[in-house]
A and B are shown apart, each in its own frame.
Chain A
């Protein structure tokens, strides 16, 4: 288990949004499992922090929720992306790429220019 990392601060929201964008409407447990799978099981989601994060995103208007039936017919709350959420995914993705790009330049082996 010690090889698994915690989710970095501030990236969980983007992961949630991206997951919902890719997968379509999904319940909380599904989102968590999907994030873990996508990370190749290298990330371990603290399910306790997932729900407050979902609530926050909903309050900010990026996702909306409604109750529905799960694949094995259990009642579950499904989250879907709103229009604002779609825009937010694009924006945050761009920001994130920029940030990692900059960081990558720092970490790359020094090149003579």
Chain B
């Protein structure tokens, strides 16, 4: 308390220095007078009286000094004084200051921006109770090489009953809810969730109630929870909606409540708007081959991930023995939710953060070099101060203060830059990075920025400060140019900085180059279809049309209406499209007529139901045979088309046309049907350009009248502007049709590559920054060293040296450093690029073309950075140069 009060008084004292100085002087003067009078009274003469009084006081000035120190806070005053001095020095060198602050702004800015993203996506815990214990559970299947398969209802129920490792296990099933009420009909995306879903996550509704236990029973499950967003968007934030009945899927549903505003499922790209209970029927207890559930679990506190995995595998093994036909090749695995969510994006983000760190390092090296160069110009100033008695620590402190002033400016600039950069990053469409939208510049980010600013201040400030303050006084005073005598060792340090800059820049360039080549390779992959000008609209027509005949008619009419629209080149519909919802599933069992069937080796493929117009709408070529036509009807003989991969896989040496495959038609209850292969169509890359096409067969919609279809419309121009027209054409068939995903195929494709584009864009930007910084660094050092050698160069030229040979000497010196940097950079890049080999496509981590191209680019830039100052040096007039001192 007493201490605090003292400090406050001193803090206040700092700001009334002048007043208190005057007061001290007056007080001491009055003290002297009193003392002198006493002395006079004792009989001293006036001069002696004053002298004695002064002696006893110990001199006026030292006491004033002691009082002054006591009055304020010397540490802060020195700091403030240093800051003022630093500001003055920096103002006097605007170019130096601008370059340094800009460099730091860039370095700190990119790192802060990237950290904000990493913080939101990877570091911040999920908004659920104990998110570390949450895991996802998956089926595996050796037969189709599936590591993370969705789970079948019967298996989920058995896992749940058998589980000892979990505090809870719940399943979710993607579900869509056709809403027909006020306004346009719309499909709400939603999830059916099994019992205890919200308890498992630790979430309860903001308004209303959660589902009751009996609502998880079939027939009582017509009850929903709305997301906060949907409640605002479609129901005008009206709390009275709770307890009311709304029409979903043409059925009455009770609105039980509204979920909190911050509730979302960050591992799912698109937000879910409606949640309903997942009720298991007696049939679902038998359903083992249909895998469509996403399963979440909460690990018991004392159970490790490994233990849970083992225990679940044991259950799966038991089920495989019990149900060899359905579960023969099925296993099970556990994956942490956070990993499931960020698994794909983590390497990209780490790569980008690493690159941002390198940019900062290069920036630091640059600034350190600039400080060294400037320090040598200030040699005399510091030498004079040292000879006047300034302690070395005091000078280091002052130089460090200057660094911190620069850093503070860089930090402020960096924060502004980061804000701007974040706007850019968040603006990237369809990035698919989970939780990216949660990115904010919160206090953690501010601390991070301040932290790296402080750290960089130390890194780039300390070495030059220590160096400079160790100046040899005599030589510094004697020579105007500072320390040409000791230039050699300093040169070494600057050379080191240049070499490391070049090496780091090369590493970044190689990284960007490899990513660029990967992206180009991916863009050049022929996906087997043409995505331009194609709009896809997904519909679920099950609820509106309960019979096969109704569905057949609806899709036939709708496609006919679409094809008749002016400007529409082709229209069709298909049950699955490449890339839609991550792409279709290669797990549909079929058998080949005339070949023996083995339970564990049953052929599987992607099964796609299409209308005849699909192939021309998506631009998939017919290789051989014929396509479907309107003559393929429910009553005509069943037919299929196969893609090239399927044909090659099962008929490697024969012509499959005319052969039959046997498939279960899931829209009818009958036995499997034998279908004749009438044609072979081209492969499409269903899972994106990175993956090879899967085996696929197509059936006409008339023979498998499913309700889950996507319309595919190819237009003459931009399809987006025709969206409403296209929707209206379908509404002309049925005004209550609702659409789920409405997207262009190019959007789907771009979304697939968006993360790559984003990381490539960032990395390329960083690499360009790095190159520029390295070039500035080289330029600065060469200019400085040639300036030091002006006299020597003058003598050489005066003695008859050719300017070109002088130029050669300087260039050779510079390029030696650059070459050393290039070699070091190649080694570093070889080490680092291996870490992100999994992100590359069609190019090796040690791709010689990229390495040599990048090295050549860097050498060229470095040469220019050396050449400019070198040429200026050789233009020097020998007479001027000799007088240069």
Contact = CB atoms under 8 A, between A and B. Distances in A.
B35 A29 contact: yes
B142 interface: no
Given A55-B67, A60-B5, A61-B5, A75 B57 contact: no
A40 B422 CA distance: 77
Sort chain A's interface into a size bin. Answer: 20 to 34
B270 interface: no
B71 interface: yes
Nearest to B34: A29
Interface residues of B, number: 29
Contacts of B63: 47-48, 51-52
Interface in A27-80: 27-30, 33, 46-49, 51-52, 55-56, 58-61, 70, 72, 74-77
A76 B30 contact: yes
B30 A55 contact: no
B31 A28 contact: yes
A49 B57 CA distance: 8
A105 to B, nearest CB: 30
B27 A77 contact: yes
A55 B70 contact: yes
B30 A47 contact: no
Interface of B is mostly: helix
Contact of A74 (B2, B34, B69): B34
Interface string B61-76: 0110011011100000
A28 B27 contact: yes
Contacts of A60: 2, 5-6, 9
B62 A48 contact: yes
A34 to B, nearest CB: 12
B67 A51 contact: yes
A40 B69 CA distance: 33
A59 B67 contact: no
Interface string B26-66: 11101101110110000000000000000011110011001
Given A59-B6, A59-B9, A60-B2, A29 B66 contact: no
Contacts, number: 74
Contacts of B5: 59-61
B397 interface: no
A47 to B, nearest CB: 5
A77 B23 CA distance: 9
Nearest to A33: B38
Contacts of A76: 27, 30-31, 34
A33 B31 CA distance: 11
B58 A46 contact: yes
A46 B56 CA distance: 7
Nearest to A59: B9
B555 to A, nearest CB: 89
Contacts of A56: 6, 70
Nearest to B62: A48
A70 to B, nearest CB: 7
Contact of A59 (B10, B23, B57): B10
B37 A52 contact: no
Given A47-B57, A61-B5, A77-B27, A52 B70 contact: yes
Given A48-B62, A51-B67, A70 B34 contact: yes
A52 B66 contact: yes
Given A48-B62, A55-B67, A77-B27, A27 B6 contact: no
Contacts of B69: 52
Contacts of B28: 51
A58 B2 CA distance: 11
B191 to A, nearest CB: 67
Contact of A55 (B37, B56, B59, B71): B71
Given A29-B35, A47-B56, A48-B57, A74 B30 contact: yes
A29 B32 CA distance: 8
A29 B6 contact: no
A77 B30 contact: yes
Interface in B1-31: 2, 5-6, 9-10, 13, 23-24, 26-28, 30-31
Nearest to A46: B58
Contacts of B2: 60-61
Interface in B385-405: none
B27 A51 contact: yes
Given A60-B2, A61-B5, A48 B34 contact: no
Nearest to A45: B56
A76 B23 CA distance: 11
B265 to A, nearest CB: 60
A4 to B, nearest CB: 12
Interface string B277-295: 0000000000000000000
Interface string A75-92: 111000000000000000
A55 to B, nearest CB: 5
Contacts of A51: 24, 27-28, 31, 63, 66-67
Contacts of A49: 66
B27 A47 contact: no
Contacts of B62: 48
A57 to B, nearest CB: 9
A51 B33 CA distance: 15
Contact of A72 (B6, B27, B37, B71): B37
B477 to A, nearest CB: 36
A56 B26 CA distance: 18
Contact of B59 (A27, A33, A48, A59): A48
Among A27, A51, A75, find the residue whose CB has the most chain B CB atoms closer than 10 A: A51
Nearest to A47: B57
A101 B698 CA distance: 105
Contact of A48 (B27, B33, B58): B58
A47 B9 CA distance: 23
Interface string A1-36: 000000000000000000000000001111001000
A75 B26 CA distance: 9
A13 B33 CA distance: 24
Q: Which 9 A-B residue pairs are closest in the complex by CB-CB distance?
A: A48-B58, A59-B9, A29-B34, A76-B30, A52-B70, A47-B57, A48-B63, A59-B6, A52-B66
25 contacts: A28-B27, A29-B31, A30-B34, A46-B56, A47-B35, A47-B56, A47-B58, A48-B57, A48-B62, A48-B63, A51-B27, A51-B28, A51-B31, A55-B70, A59-B13, A59-B70, A60-B2, A61-B5, A70-B30, A72-B37, A74-B37, A75-B26, A75-B30, A76-B31, A77-B26
Given A27-B34, A47-B57, 17 more contacts: A29-B31, A46-B56, A47-B56, A48-B57, A51-B27, A51-B31, A51-B67, A52-B66, A56-B70, A58-B9, A60-B6, A60-B9, A70-B34, A74-B34, A75-B30, A76-B34, A77-B30
